[in-house]
Amino acid sequence: QVQLVESGGGSVQAGGSLRLSCGASKYTINTRCMGWFRQAPGKEREGVATIHSDGSTSYADSVKGRFTISKDNAKNTLDLYMNSLKPEDTAMYYCAAEDTLYGGTWYGGCVYGYWGQGTQVAVSS
């Protein structure tokens, strides 16, 4: 059973930085799309960033220039570096992995079907 486990969330003041990490088990990330999503209270889940198997990336307009997605194929981990955080970045952040067999949520040219449990990010003004 595929497992994705996020870590690194927390509380930070506006302008600060956080790094989120996601460890994958029973899933090899180097040949798949991986992504980060977030969901704020009362809002729908939205895609934040995608990294393809070739290392190419795409970002939501709201985080471009501030967030960086990266992966370590050897460690089978995914990271999200978040800089210049804003109060509107406050949300539960989810790691997601591609599932081309059963489908799911489309974002950044990939379909995601595996999800982590989420890690909370709170940015205060």
Annotate 29-40 with DSSP letters as a single string. Answer: GGGS-EEEEEE-
Tokens of 111: 């379909």
pLDDT value at 100 more than 90: no
Question: What integer best gives the mean pLDDT of the chain?
Answer: 96
pLDDT value at 61 more than 90: yes
Confidence of residue 74 (pLDDT cuts 50, 70, 90): very high
Task: Give Cα separations from 59 to 22, 25, 52, 79 (angstroms).
Answer: 18, 25, 12, 14
Residue with tokens 């930085």: 17
| pLDDT at residue 102, as a whole number | 84
pLDDT value at 21 more than 90: yes
Residues forming a β-bridge with 7: 21
Mean pLDDT of all residues in 1-19: 97
| pLDDT at residue 12, as a whole number | 98
Tokens of 23: 């460890």
On whether the CB atoms of residues 4 and 22 are closer than 8 A, the answer is yes
